[in-house]
């Protein structure tokens, strides 16, 4: 009953590995660079490159389950969707050849309107995996709240570093942010599911606009930013000022902002209904936990945020 985690060194994968290992489940940690990953965290690291079939065959040999957490937000491929589909097809075929019993994939929710290229790639990956012969549970989570999440970094930095901010129309789009601990619990529970392939959303406990999320994060840090509506500011233009305020990778920031044009709201309770023993962390608790767990900021950034807090209390 060995579980292979593809993308074990990432934000979600590292936390899932710790959870499974703590529960006594045999885990094989997959990374494109296992030597580098092993220097930062002990474990049974293996080379796993979704573009290399030989590495997949070796990493999956004798495994019963695969958790697929790899996606190409930093990839420079001209056609991101085609690239992600090819990788997913390669993974599905390797898993079938190795006799893997179930794949668990963490993807993204389907928006109410046309998806961005990033979301199209995530959704396409799920479709390819579910079309394979190995039963696949596709979990769909939107914004994940936790220290280290790229989407969280953007929201957190905007809320804590700006005494005033413009409000583009896209900030009224609604989503359901979810705590990283809840996502890890959902992934662990999905490994125990049986039956045919299925899609399960992983919605957070509240449905809010991006503007409301910013205000909740700001309030948790004692900030009261002034907000000014600018309905004509597009997601593409917004990504330029976001890059100057936040620490997020500019390519990732652009893709994440492009995905906020439409509501991203789950049609039902998804995994929480399928696994009723799981519970959701309240939003304010998740925000506070993420703020408390983040590493110390560089001196300049810390002084900047302290000054913003003082302005907000006047």
Q: What is the pLDDT of residues 78-132, one digit of tens each?
A: 688 999 999 999 999 999 999 999 999 999 999 988 888 889 999 999 999 999 9
Query: What is the pLDDT, as a whole number, of residue 238?
Result: 63
Count of domains in the chain?
1
pLDDT at 232: 58
Name the pTM for this structure.
0.92
pLDDT, the chain, mean: 89
Give the separation between CA 6 and CA 66, rounded to whole angstroms.
Answer: 7
Burial class (CB in 10 A: 0-12, 13-18, 19+), 178: buried
CA distances in angstroms from 108 to 31, 141, 305, 312, listed in the order given: 21, 5, 31, 35
Q: Is residue 228 part of a domain?
A: no
The reply to whether 91 falls in a domain is yes
Is residue 217 a part of any domain in this protein? no
Q: What is the CATH number of the domain that holds 110?
A: 3.40.50.720
pLDDT tens readout for residues 205-248 = 999 998 899 999 999 988 888 777 666 556 566 666 676 777 77
Q: Does residue 221 form part of some domain?
A: no
% of the chain exceeding 70 in pLDDT = 89
Confidence of residue 283 (pLDDT cuts 50, 70, 90): very high
Instruction: Please report whether residue 57 resides in a domain.
Output: yes
For residue 237, being part of any structural domain is answered with no
Considering the domain boundaries, does residue 155 fall inside one?
no
The pLDDT tens digits for 145-176 are 999 888 898 888 888 888 877 777 777 889 99
All residues at 6 or more sequence positions from 272 whose CB lies less than 8 Å from its CB, including other chains = 202, 203, 278, 280
pLDDT value at position 168? Answer: 75
What residue numbers bound the domain in which 129 lies? 3-145+177-204+266-274
């Amino acid at each position: 009953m060995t579980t292979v985690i593809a993308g074990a060194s990432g934000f979600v994968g590292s936390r899932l590995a710790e959870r499974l290992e703590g529960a006594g489940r045999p885990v094989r940690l997959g990374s494109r660079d296992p030597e580098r990953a092993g220097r930062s965290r002990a474990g049974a690291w293996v080379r796993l490159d979704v573009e290399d079939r030989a590495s997949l065959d070796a990493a999956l040999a004798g495994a019963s389950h695969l958790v697929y957490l790899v996606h190409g937000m930093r990839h420079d491929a001209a056609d991101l969707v085609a690239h992600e589909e090819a990788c997913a097809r390669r993974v599905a075929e390797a898993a079938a050849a190795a006799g893997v019993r179930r794949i668990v994939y963490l993807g993204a929710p389907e928006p109410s309107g046309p998806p961005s290229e990033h979301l199209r790639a995530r959704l396409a990956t799920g479709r390819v995996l579910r079309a394979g012969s190995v039963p696949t549970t596709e979990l769909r989570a939107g914004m994940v709240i936790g220290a280290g999440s790229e989407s969280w970094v953007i929201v957190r930095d905007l809320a804590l570093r700006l005494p005033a901010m413009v409000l583009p129309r896209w900030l009224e789009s609604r989503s359901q942010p979810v705590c990283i601990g809840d996502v890890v619990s959902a992934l662990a529970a999905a490994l125990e599911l049986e039956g045919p392939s299925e899609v399960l959303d992983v919605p957070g406990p509240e449905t809010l606009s991006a503007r409301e999320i910013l205000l909740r994060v700001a309030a948790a840090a004692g900030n009261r930013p002034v907000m000014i509506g600018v309905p004509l500011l597009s997601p593409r233009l917004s990504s330029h000022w976001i890059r100057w305020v936040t620490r997020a990778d500019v390519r990732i920031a652009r893709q994440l902002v492009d995905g906020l044009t439409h509501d991203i709201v789950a049609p039902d309770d998804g995994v929480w209904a399928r696994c009723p023993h799981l519970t959701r962390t309240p939003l304010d608790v998740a925000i506070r936990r993420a703020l408390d767990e983040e590493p110390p900021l560089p001196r300049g950034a810390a002084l900047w945020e302290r000054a913003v807090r003082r302005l907000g209390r006047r």
